[in-house]
Structure 1
Amino acid sequence: MTTTRSALDWRAHAQRLAGQLVASGDIRTPRWRDAIAAVPRHLLVPTAYEQDHSGRWTPWSTVDDLDRVYSPETLITDIDPAGIAVSSSTKPDLMARMLELLDARPGHRVLEIGTGTGYNVGLLAHALGEENVFSVDIDPDLVDAARARLAVAGYHPTLVADDGAGGVPEHAPYDRIIATCSAPRVPWAWVEQLADEGVILADVKVAASAGNLVRLTRVDEDTLVGRFTTRWAGFMAMRHHHDIPTALTPIPTRGEGATYRTTDLDTPRVWEIPPLWFLINLWQGPVGFGYTLDSDTRQPTGALYTAADGSWCHTITESGRHTVAEGGPRRLWSTIEHAATRWRELDEPDWDRLGLTVSRAEQTVWIDHPDGPAWNLLAERR
């Protein structure tokens, strides 16, 4: 397919994507179906990046592959000098589910945290009217590019370049606030800018991959309550002006001071159970994770966990037997085992049993009911 023909065919691709999202149940409301079918994703994301097996990122022109652009795929749109992806265009199926959860209706004023490419802003502007849509992103270049591309597409929402944690107070109050980036807690500025009976939809992550989307509604002036969504979702972390680049943690090796033992915990990759992984990081503090690889085959041989205090553990599974090496100031795998036991004693709560209460004084994660077992977000470390 030539570039010229691709440019002419994008509407058919967008309409097909809208139909797919309706068929999958991700879209249930006509206004979001119409928005997906009408907003040119390739125009708002002219260039994306893909990573090869060596870790190298290569740009590609989206207009040359409309099948890929108008599909449920995340498109990486910005790479920092260290080679880390820092901005993306979210999977359209996830974006559609979030818009349905947000339940924004004509007349509602909506604030989006994380402008990115502007694609979601375009969907909101198409469905609700550009005068009702506001978006903020910390990167002025991203905001300027999104503003220009949205204008070409015929949309002129209000875009602001600033730290999203502060919201956009000059245009408050908002009936809906949606965050397309993750944060370790809900910034209180968002609560202050939310209208009566308003809704916040945010990705609360206490550590990497440790958390989920939560839908919060205002119950009084100083309190929001809501539940985590049943399907897991993940976004890049919200960036701030004061961010300091994080040094990579060196992979520990078996050496002096390490202890070795077997473990009865039959889930060596505990991050593959998202609710458990969330509670581990809530209870024990942020834990980094990854695979260890065979030096010859580059295939995974085990799981590695690290903590900011220098503690680490390495699990290897051979012939159904799980072996653990631990090192550093505390036995990290032991804390993971303890948290897993605690989770099982609570009857292994899944996302549908977990909720969040946000108040000025604290933010608490609870099970089953706000008055049930609860833990202070970012404070519970046992």
Structure 2
Amino acid sequence: MATSSSTLPSLVVRMLRHGRLGPGLATLDLGTGAGGLAAYAARRLGDQHVTSIDVDPYLTEAASERLARMGLRPTFHAVDATAEIPGHYDRIVCTVAIRPGTGLRTVLGALHEGGRLVTTLAGTSLILTGWKHKTGELVGCIERGGAEFMLTRSGHDYPPALSELFAVASDEAGDETGTGRYPVMDVANAWEVRSMLEITTPGVQSRYSTHDRRRTLLLIHADGSWARAIGEWTDPPTVHQGGPRRLWDALERIRGRLNMEGALPLYGAHARVTPDGVVHLSRGQWSGSLGEE
């Protein structure tokens, strides 16, 4: 499994713009990768104001050498950002997806009062931006338009996927069989739908495949819940579900809302992050949270 990537330059620039950088502001690039964001920030602000961190020492060393050849020498650290972040900063721009809860709590702890955070939230395509208040809370919004970054990790690789449960979802009859209301979709690439699924049913994983006109979607959760939907192109699928939760039903509720209202209440939502890293979102009459135990 890949453990790093080079971010599209236009996305790097967009994340930096969200960060509202300025002269003299201590800026942290969280997720060194190839070093692109650190290079942009160092050129804009000066080396002495930019720090870049990554869990992989190979990436920080390679980026340091690469930028040095360009005459840029920001500070690099190889650290696990889910556990500790050296120093405190006026701006933190993340090019990895941060897990709400413990991971986001650590990031907030490294942000000065009055500082600004830009990050995507793990399991979603949502870009969260906000300012840190004297209460320790971050107050901001979910920006229009999404982004995809790799998850933060604590070691050389990510935890193994729930492959055994995917096997169950592929083969078992389940506790309940029915006909779905909507055609099978590739949830992973339907960013708004997947983001709302993460909010309503945190931790769901999916696999999508096609063969000729046959579409298959598997949904699983670490609590043992699973669903399998198989349908011919846009025909209503046959759905099998098992475990304590009905994952396909959760997905269909989201799709029903999307069809009825024409959009989901995510982009432009008000965001409040408490010091413990829990994200509270609201827009109109809707509200949701990420990172609660």
Q: TM-score range by the shorter chain?
A: 0.7 to 0.9
Alignment of 1:12-161 (within 5 A): 84-161=1-78
Alignment of 1:277-292 (within 5 A): 277-292=194-209
Alignment of 1:110-259 (within 5 A): 110-166=27-83, 168-169=85-86, 171-172=87-88, 174-185=89-100, 187-205=104-122, 207=123, 210-241=124-155, 245-249=159-163, 250-251=166-167, 252-257=169-174, 259=176
Aligned residue pairs: how many?
Answer: 287
- Work out the CA distance in 2 between the residues paired with 1:254 and 1:189: 41
Between stretches 188-197 and 139-148, larger displacement belongs to: 188-197
Distance change in 2, residues 1:87/1:364 (3 Å): closer
- Work out the CA distance in 1 between the residues paired with 2:228 and 2:151: 26
> TM-score, structure 2 length as denominator?
0.86
Aligned mate of 1:367, from 276, 282, 291: 282
Q: Report what 1:351 is aligned to.
A: 266
Deviations 1:66-103 (A, max 9, x none): xxxxxxxxxxxxxxxxxx11111100111111111111
Q: Which amino acid aligns with 1:102?
A: G
Name the SS for the 1:230 alignment partner. coil
Q: Identify the structure with bigger relative contact order (alpha carbons < 8 Å, sequence gap 6+).
A: 2
Between stretches 255-264 and 214-223, larger displacement belongs to: 255-264
Distance change in 2, residues 1:189/1:238 (3 Å): same
Distance change in 2, residues 1:255/1:348 (3 Å): same
Question: Is the CA contact (8 Å cut-off) linking 1:136 and 1:161 kept in structure 2?
Answer: yes
- Work out the CA distance in 2 between the residues paired with 1:300 and 1:110: 49
Identity %: 27
Q: Report what 1:306 is aligned to.
A: 220
Q: Which amino acid aligns with 1:237?
A: L
Deviations 1:94-121 (A, max 9, x none): 1111111111012111011111121211
Distance change in 2, residues 1:111/1:244 (3 Å): closer
- Work out the CA distance in 1 between the residues paired with 2:210 and 2:184: 18
Q: Report what 1:44 is aligned to.
A: none
- Work out the CA distance in 2 between the residues paired with 1:196 and 1:133: 18
- Work out the CA distance in 2 between the residues paired with 1:343 and 1:290: 21
Q: Report what 1:376 is aligned to.
A: 289
Q: 1:342 Cα shift? A: 6.0
Q: 1:270 Cα shift? A: 4.2
- Work out the CA distance in 2 between the residues paired with 1:162 and 1:314: 39
- Work out the CA distance in 1 between the residues paired with 2:221 and 2:126: 21
Distance change in 2, residues 1:180/1:255 (3 Å): closer
Unaligned runs of 5+ in 2: none
Deviations 1:162-195 (A, max 9, x none): 11234533x32x1100111012215223223222
Question: Is the CA contact (8 Å cut-off) linking 1:102 and 1:199 kept in structure 2?
Answer: yes
Distance change in 2, residues 1:361/1:346 (3 Å): farther
Between stretches 250-259 and 191-200, larger displacement belongs to: 250-259
Distance change in 2, residues 1:315/1:256 (3 Å): closer
RMSD (CA atoms): 2.8
Q: 1:258 Cα shift? A: 5.7
Distance change in 2, residues 1:135/1:262 (3 Å): same
Q: Report what 2:240 is aligned to.
A: 326
Q: 1:290 Cα shift? A: 2.0
